[in-house]
């Protein structure tokens, strides 16, 4: 076993702080990854504070991991020491169900093993995430980071990137399509960049009129402040595709009416339940769907697409010691647009502790 420095929440009421966990030595088909950067996802906050229920403590969050392979098992064929790789929202699945066989591991019928706040396939060993110095993962659940990409800006692609890329690809967004991105946060800003890279005409819909300048700077062609009078009336039947990133309660029907005949709206946020007027769909042959991250194959496809089109997240890099402050800032929407932890800050702190401990009589 490998003793590993981490940051953990011991309970839902305590802040994240220094913690020590055990990582296993790589098995025959596993790799050990030295973590360089880990993104901060809003879902980290929800789970650390047990806002979704069922949180497992102590919890080491983090599922947007970029690092370097430092050790490979004897039967590893996909990776070698020195490779720059990523780990996203899950680290294993059953391998046997229809979803897994089709490369849709996120929909594993037996349940995927999340990177943290879950269990290994034995159902009893807890998983710990990327707010740590290293992680051991099966070679099949690792993705390649294309050469030349800025690693700190790649980390959020392992969640925010694939979460927005997947619906755009799955529902066939193409050059010339009129695409609306609802919400301009960590997910929305990636939706803008990716849809634009696919050649779409992109409009941001936001209740915050002050985000207009940011939306246009990110590449959006237009901006609609949804709180303005008649905003929904004057844009009826305007869009081919709507990507709804909002997790706060809002009326789907207002947005569905912005779709053209046979248009599609995809939900990637999970707000409180909202009544749906069937007529919004039936009378114009519209579609309402939802997607969850993406499988390993599609995540690799997304990274390669981003490398080709020079797409990466807009980030603020922080030391691990500022993660609790970062959580509060996320809740205030005070970040453009994702926090990323430089894990060297944890490694340096660990060295200081080792040196101090070593000096003790």
pLDDT at residue 356, as a whole number = 59
Residue 138 reports pLDDT greater than 60: yes
Mean pLDDT (the chain, rounded): 96
Structural domains of the chain ordered from first start: 2-159+294-358 (3.90.180.10), 161-290 (3.40.50.720)
What's the rounded mean pLDDT across residues 115-134? Answer: 97
pLDDT at residue 332, as a whole number = 94
- Between 101-105, 298-302, 357-361, the lowest mean confidence (pLDDT) is in 357-361
pLDDT at residue 270, as a whole number = 87
Residue 12 reports pLDDT greater than 50: yes
In the chain, the percentage of residues whose pLDDT exceeds 90 is: 94
Rounded CA separation 193/79 (Å): 30
317, with CB counted inside 10 A (0-12, 13-18, 19+), is middle
pLDDT at residue 309, as a whole number = 98
What's the rounded mean pLDDT across residues 289-296? Answer: 97
Residue 340 reports pLDDT greater than 50: yes
For 174-192, how does the pLDDT look when each residue is reduced to its tens digit (9 = 90+)?
999 999 999 999 999 999 9
What's the rounded mean pLDDT across residues 155-162? Answer: 98
pLDDT at residue 357, as a whole number = 53
Tell me how crowded residue 111 is: count the other CB atoms within 10 A of its CB: 15
Residue 278, C-beta contacts closer than 8 angstroms, at least 6 positions apart: none
pLDDT at residue 361, as a whole number = 33
pLDDT at residue 351, as a whole number = 81
What's the rounded mean pLDDT across residues 198-213? Answer: 96
Beta carbons of 295 and 104 less than 8 angstroms apart:
yes
Beta carbons of 113 and 119 less than 8 angstroms apart:
yes
271 falls in which pLDDT band (50, 70, 90)?
confident
For 74-103, how does the pLDDT look when each residue is reduced to its tens digit (9 = 90+)?
999 999 999 999 999 999 999 999 999 999
pLDDT at residue 359, as a whole number = 44
User: Count of alpha carbons within 13 Å of 202, Cβ hemisphere only?
Assistant: 29
Identify which of 293, 328, 341, 346 has the alpha carbon closest to the alpha carbon of residue 157: 293
What's the rounded mean pLDDT across residues 120-135? Answer: 97
Rounded CA separation 154/38 (Å): 9
What's the rounded mean pLDDT across residues 252-271? Answer: 96
The CA R_g of the chain, rounded to the nearest whole Å, is: 21
Tokens of 230: 């008649």
Beta carbons of 171 and 56 less than 8 angstroms apart:
no
pLDDT at residue 338, as a whole number = 97
What's the rounded mean pLDDT across residues 28-57? Answer: 97
pLDDT at residue 36, as a whole number = 98
Residue 214 reports pLDDT greater than 70: yes
Residue 353 reports pLDDT greater than 70: no
For residue 19, the cross-strand partners are: 6
């Amino acid at each position: 076993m490998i003793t590993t420095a981490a940051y953990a929440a011991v309970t839902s009421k305590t802040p994240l702080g220094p913690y020590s966990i055990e990582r296993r030595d790589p098995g025959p088909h596993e790799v050990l990854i030295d973590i360089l950067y880990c993104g901060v996802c809003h879902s980290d906050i929800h789970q650390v504070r047990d806002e979704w229920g069922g949180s497992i403590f102590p919890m080491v969050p983090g599922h947007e991991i970029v690092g370097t392979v430092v050790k490979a098992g004897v039967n590893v064929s996909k990776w070698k020491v020195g490779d720059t790789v990523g780990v996203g929202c899950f680290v294993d699945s059953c391998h046997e169900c229809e979803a897994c066989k089709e490369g849709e591991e996120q929909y594993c019928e037996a349940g995927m093993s999340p990177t943290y706040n879950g269990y290994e396939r034995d159902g009893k060993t807890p998983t710990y995430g990327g707010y740590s110095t290293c992680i051991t993962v099966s070679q099949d659940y690792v993705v390649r980071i294309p050469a030349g990409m800025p690693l700190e800006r790649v980390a959020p692609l392992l969640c925010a990137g694939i979460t927005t890329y997947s619906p755009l690809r799955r529902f066939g967004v193409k050059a010339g399509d009129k695409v609306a991105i609802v919400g301009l946060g960590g997910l929305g800003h990636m939706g803008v960049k990716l849809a634009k890279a696919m050649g779409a005409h992109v409009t941001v819909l936001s209740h915050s009129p002050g985000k207009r300048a940011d939306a246009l700077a990110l590449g959006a062609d237009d901006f609609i402040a949804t709180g303005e009078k008649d905003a929904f009336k004057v844009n009826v039947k305007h869009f081919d595709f709507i990507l709804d990133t909002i997790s706060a309660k809002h009326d789907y029907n207002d947005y569905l009416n912005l779709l053209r005949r046979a248009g599609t709206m995809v939900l990637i946020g999970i707000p409180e339940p909202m009544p749906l007027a069937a007529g919004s769909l039936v009378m114009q042959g519209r579609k309402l769907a939802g997607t969850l991250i993406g499988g390993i194959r599609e995540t690799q496809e997304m990274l390669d697409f981003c490398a080709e089109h020079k797409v990466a997240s807009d980030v603020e890099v922080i030391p691990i010691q500022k993660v609790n402050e970062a959580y509060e800032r996320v809740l205030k929407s005070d970040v453009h647009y994702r926090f990323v932890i430089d894990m060297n800050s944890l490694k340096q702190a660990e060295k200081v502790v080792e040196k101090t401990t070593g000096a003790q009589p």
